[in-house]
Amino acid sequence: MTNIFAFALGISRHSAAGAMLDCYFPAPCMQPDINLSEIISRHFSAGVTEVAAAVAAAFADELPEGQLKQATQALTAGERALRCVVLENDDAISSTAEAYLKLHLLSHRLALPNSLNLDNIFAHLPNVAWTTRGPIAVDELAAALIKAQTQGQHLEVMAVDKFPKMTNYVVPSGVRIADASRIRLGAFLGDGTTVMHEGFINFNAGALGPNMIEGRVSQGVTVGANSDLGGSSSTMGTLSGGGEIVISVGENCLIGANAGTGIPLGDRCTIEAGLYITAGTKISLLDETGTEVRKVKARELAGGDDLLFIRNSETGRIECRSNRRAIELNAQLHAHN
């Protein structure tokens, strides 16, 4: 193989009927250097393959010291066959294993949101019952519940979904997560990110860190450094009404509690609590004296810096003023020591 876009070695789990339910890749890599690419090529072929532990052990022997070597050695300690994925290009997803590899790349911070080709991901992620005994095929769940009950055991079903929670596969360094069930595998959490109980980060979305997330970061949305999302605030993603518009929040921004945005924000922007800005929202632009200069649709302000969006409590009109004061985050909230 002359080109390797991404590589991973791990464990897959299957239904009783043999359908793949998930994959766990403890140390994926993206665009490996030429030396690692040559080692991979000597042991594995392109695509998705099942690998005997002995083959993986021989691969580990050639690896330099590091996380990949340690993870591979740990994987070979068991007797299970391993799953290997070697992608030569960032093409559309064509298997469950490829889908899980790309989700791992995002949560391992090897790729930023919107930088990978995720076409066909929903078609290749099975709907799975996520339980205290791991993933169970939905059509096998009823039998599993009966078996657990008759044996006096407790089988808890946490979710029935295509995406598992991130922390069962990846726990990035330097983060705080109050409710792990609200972070899907494929989320990007940068160092210094805190996600409170009501915060949610979807797959292919992320907070670049440091951030305080108490609202929803929808699919495709990125939140820049030192920006906060207040309680129950929202960002409109491509799956929640944003269409083809890629929403992003710049650095040093604040989206207040119960507020939201359907347009990209530049740096040092603030949306006051309770105010939701969509692309078609009529905005009154004010000069330094507070006089309306003209009215625009919010989409005309997309990506602008130093914007303060407020609702006039007397007239009800939505106004935009210059916001020259950067939002300063509470340092204690962002400390993860």
Residues serving a catalytic function are 214
Q: Which two tokens stand for residue 33?
A: 């250097």
161 CB-near residues (< 8 Å, 6+ apart): 127, 128, 130
Dmax (CA) of the chain: 75
How far is CA 37 from each of CA 2, 31, 86, 127, rounded to the nearest angstrom? 8, 8, 10, 34
As a whole number of angstroms, the distance between CA 257 and CA 215 comes to 8
Q: Is the dihedral of CA 288, 290, 292, 298 positive or negative?
A: positive
CA 163 – CA 105 distance, rounded (Å)? 15
In DSSP notation, 25-78 reads: -SS-EES--HHHHHHHHHH--SEEEEE-HHHHHHHHHHSPSSHHHHHHHHHTTS
Question: By the 8 A CB rule, do 102 and 188 touch?
Answer: no
- Contacts of 167-171 with C-beta under 8 Å, sequence gap 24+, read 169/24, 169/25, 169/104, 169/107, 170/104, 170/107, 170/108
**Type of residue numbered 99:** A
Contacts with 165 (C-beta within 8 Å, 6 or more apart), sequence order: 130, 158, 159, 180, 181, 182, 183, 184, 185
Secondary structure of residue 177 in the 3-state scheme: strand
Report the DSSP pairing between strands 254-255 and 82-87. unpaired
